[in-house]
Structure 1
Amino acid sequence: MKFLKVLYLLVGLAIIFAIVGCGAAAPAAPAEEKPAAEAPANAKKEYKDLTVCYPQLGAESDWRTANSASLKETAKELGVNLIFSDAQQKQENQISAMRACIQQGVDVIALPPVVEDGWDAVLTEAKDAGIPVIIVDRSVSADPSLYAAHIGSDMVLEGKKAGDEMNKLLPEGGKIVELSGTTGSGAAVGRAKGFRETLAKNIEILDSQTGNFTTAEGKPVMEAFLKKYAGEIDGAFIHNDNMAIGAVEAMKAAGLKPGDIKIVSVDGTRGGFQLMIDGWVQADVECNPLLGPQVLEMALKLANGEPVERETLTKETVYYPDQAAELLPSRQY
């Protein structure tokens, strides 16, 4: 009996020591699970993340074709998703394209407006949706607070340059006609305004009609001028090279020779350079269409909330016949 009590005591002590031994080392704490890496809340967009809407106004001229190509080629090089459309010279088509882009939630809209007026409503819609708008090439009359910036040419300055050139060509004065661009467009309004501001008092504008920036419409306008003012026209201010090409066709058909009517044109396209080489155009005021790099660089800044210049003007010059043959092979448009 006494033996059994001792035995039970030894077994109990053994069990106690075994329990204490098992609990001597605290169990290792489970490894903490690291939260999944999250993208920074304000991560900057890169070009490959950028979606830009470009509702092009049309394809009315060589200038416009070059402008479209510049945007498309630059977007492809940078990896930008460019939503491009052709409004065929109709404002309602541009507005519809903009509204579709707003619905898609694009990052930026770059608008080359066909005319100056009538943009307030759709620009307000874009602003309310948080989509910045860059006005490209031509200008708009809308409240400047509705768009982020303008990139393009100073159309009034182009007109002033053209006026200066006409003064040089007709120092004794004379009578001229004007082939204007699309009625109500920033280019037509600005060029006409600047031209009149610098044109000499002894030069009279006989008539001004729109050729809508196209060769097809420029030709009949000049035909009508030549019939109405036969023998009176000393010079012509033509708002773009495509209309100048049409005007020269009309002049050839009427039996005129290069230089019979002094022509100042605008754009500086390959077609305009050829007219200078052939003697028909005496001065061509440059308007650079290669805006793709500037537009997409600004679009990326705006998408990232960075500040941009409200007004960015392209550097442009005036070209003359004595330079044309040498420079033509290197012209990109």
Structure 2
Amino acid sequence: MSTPAQPAPDDRGIGGNGRSPSDPATDAYVAHRNLLFTVAYEMLGSAADAEDVLQETWLRWNTVDLDIVQDHRAYLVRITTRQALDRLRTLRRRRESYVGPWLPEPLLTSPDVATEVELAEHVSMAMLLVLEALTPIERAVFVLREVFELDYEEISDAVGRTPAAVRQLAYRSRAHVAARRPRGVVSAADTRNALAAFQRAVATGDLQHLLDVLSPDVVFLGDGGGIARAALAPVVGAEAVAAVLSAGLGNLAARSMESAQVNGCPALILRLDGQIDTVLALRMDDGFITGLYSVRNPEKLSRLWRKTTLRR
């Protein structure tokens, strides 16, 4: 009988059981685990798949001779990137048959993520959807260069391309993202005010108040994964989106609603009979809501019982 693989350690110790790290390999892995998770999640948009990638990273890291590794962080990022690239190519094929719009798996994040503006932007629902349009190799290069600020030689080692090729990939992916990223910085006060107004409008079903906070070209995306009821196509335009929200979320007699930080951005969490029913994340541009991302697929809501630590 084969011996079961040792679970990857988390920031509490070996396998998350509270024991202290006991060797240099474990110390290095635990020290960089949150960073590695963020790399994998940025590339995959799925916390569950990111955790699988970290398990694979841990197994490979355990076979490395640390005496020949000069930079533990860079080596771990390289392993994680390669594993995430392999998994991303498989996920792309699966998502082609996904029922309705596909949205990233939402993460409950702490306020410190929102205060680190660049990280909050890069892990937002809006940005992760932009990254979906890149090829897997372009996405890896963009994440490592723009989010984690690795140099071209480090990225070259991680993705198996020459530094010159990496430069070209970085230029191409940066241009694609720049044309689609949020149009302007929104202050924390404007964000709070818009979220509060939106929450009141949804709770009361007041169509006019919804229209007051929605951009004319707002887009609503619903992800039910074929399991939970959700719009099967994007809904575009303030009046159409307000109508969908009024019809779908207006009757909150059996639901509780609370504000939260999801992927570093404002969101509402709706519970039905104590269980999370919907996560509604917002994208803000120029003081108005330009994107609404409603995740109802229960397979994507299981991680929201605790905050996720993200690191650059």
* Higher RCO, Cα 8 Å, sep 6+: 2
TM-score surpassing 0.5?
A: no
Between structure 1 and structure 2, the one with the greater Rg is 1
Normalising by structure 1, we get a TM-score of 0.25
Q: Which structure: greater helix fraction?
A: 2
